[in-house]
Amino acid sequence: MDIPERHEHDVLVIGAGGAGLRAAIAAIEAGASVGLVGKSLLGKAHTVMAEGGMAAALGNNRPEDDWRVHFRDTMRGGKGLCDWRMAEAHAREAPDRVRELEAWGALFDRAEDGRMNQRPFGGHTYARLAHVGDRTGLELIRTLQDHAVHEGADVFMECTVFRLVMVDGRVAGALAYWRPTGEFVLFRARTVILATGGLGKAWKVTSNSWECTGDGVALAYEAGAELMGMEFVQFHPTGMVWPPSVRGTLVTEGVRGEGGVLTNSEGERFMFRYVPEMFEGDYAESEAEADRWVEGDRVANRRPPELLTRDVVAKAIVAEVEAGRGSPHGGVFLDISRKRSPEYIKAKLPSMYHQFRELAAVDITTDAMEVGPTTHYAMGGVRVDPETATTCVPGLYAAGEVAAGLHGGNRLGGNSLSDLIVFGQRAGADAAAAARDLELADIDEGELEAATSAALAPFGRTDGRNPFHLQEELQQIMQDKVGIARTEAALREALADVQRLSGALDMCSIPGGRAFNPGWHTWLDLHAMLTVSEAVVRSALERRESRGAHTRIDYPDSDPALGRTNLLLRCSEGRMTTATQPVSEPPDELRQLIEEGV
């Protein structure tokens, strides 16, 4: 099939969220021509759903907060599996990246002295999240997209990449289609950056938007890249649980950061009973002590237990529900009206106020919210070099949620947005530098013909499976068998189910034409969703312990032997295979920070 539309760039960025936009800006600043491909409209990437803020040790709230404290918090939160080089770079560079956003026009909330305000979040020693109310991701995208367009990025909206093009073992571009028309388009490039975000749409209950189908992870895997840490999928402790139409919609951690408390059906503030031994001394032991912290008394620095790391809070909520102390619709209660005035809530959490008022008929200035865990974030993804964001595939980079390494076994809230801007910048700069020494490769037309024919195959079949039914079945399987608590038996069932559904893809048929055809889009997305689902299941089977966001009921304890080991996945002769890799050990001075504190 002829592909009449073709474009050439030095650097091709796939994904127009925070990481992709920041990478594009860095590449342009380095002198490269940049193509920016987005699955949705510009400004609608999933980054806009990030609400609470971005973590950076600016020291505005507490002058003793610096990169070393942020580094330590990140490493501890990741349960031993963070790449220390990424964690150090992130902690050191995040303040400059945030100030850069401010210089480009981002309007952060201000403290009384005029400096950026910073709010507390779970797992962070100090209040360090720079924010714009509870709409921080939206402001991040607004600022970055304006700057990227002004700098000269070539933007291709509503365009989905479904194949990376390889020449002699090096990435040479990408094959995509326009979502409105179904027409194919070829992008040739010297280097390619994946910034496609997460994979949460493989689960039924998720905070992720429709774009998050694991595209970049699957594209990299099929091109020969290694995946790492895929068993670590974060279930955010507070998603909406009612009404059913919005179940899983995120309730920002900023609600708890601003003083919201979690209670069960008995009115008990239950998180005091779930403080892990390693965190004892860091968190308040009574409601009175926690209230002093919320009111501004930071002398003892003992945070409310609602601000424990997300894995701990999510598991505590599940335990309360299973013990029969849940809310009427299967969650628990989150109440900020007990601690804050209506005026304060509306000023600090305007999106949450309107979200619950419009979707659940709940006024959070007077009543509690019903919340429960929701699939939220993938700590695992494509294995990258910690310095440059390169993958093991020549010419291919990855940044943001699609990349693994920074967050280890559990991500701290707020680290996602600063991750995007720190490693987006690094990926863009290195990809541009590498592109200077490369020529555009000649792409075999026969390979393009085979790829486009395969993508159109379901149009030639009749009376086949409905891709929407396959998607629903996959989401239910992942929800039921690969959720917040896992077992060997359920995971093995899930693996067989995923493999069965993968075979069923070749039996799907799609009616109609290619233009505006959501059935076809879903069928193409399913290739990625099934790949990442298999990767999560296989990794979860291999990690026979409980650590961070990965909980095995049959292996409830953490295994020291696995505590410094990452699981890798590779494609070998068409099959997904597992391997292990030791976690890189930090130098003595950084190890001391982690173990003893600053």
Catalytic site positions: 236, 256
What residues contact residue 112 under an 8 Å CB cut-off, 6+ apart? none
Instruction: Return the structure tokens found at 467.
Output: 């891709």
Helix/strand/coil for 333: strand
349: DSSP letter: -
Distances (CA, A) of 419 to 47, 320, 348: 12, 33, 24
* CA of residue 498 relative to chain centroid, distance: 22
Query: Which pairing describes strands 154-156 and 34-37: parallel, antiparallel, or unpaired?
Result: parallel
Rounded to 10°, the helix 415-435/84-103 angle is 90
Among all chains, which residue has been given the structure tokens 């580094």?
71
CA distance 547 to 78: 9
Single out the residue of 370, 393, 340, 308 nearest to residue 77, CA to CA. 308
Q: Where are the alpha helices (DSSP H) in 56-180?
A: 67-77, 84-103, 136-151
DSSP assignment of 463-503, as one string?
Answer: S-B-HHHHHHHHHHHHHHHSSSSB-HHHHHHHHHHHHHHHH
* Contact between 351 and 134 (Cβ < 8 Å): yes
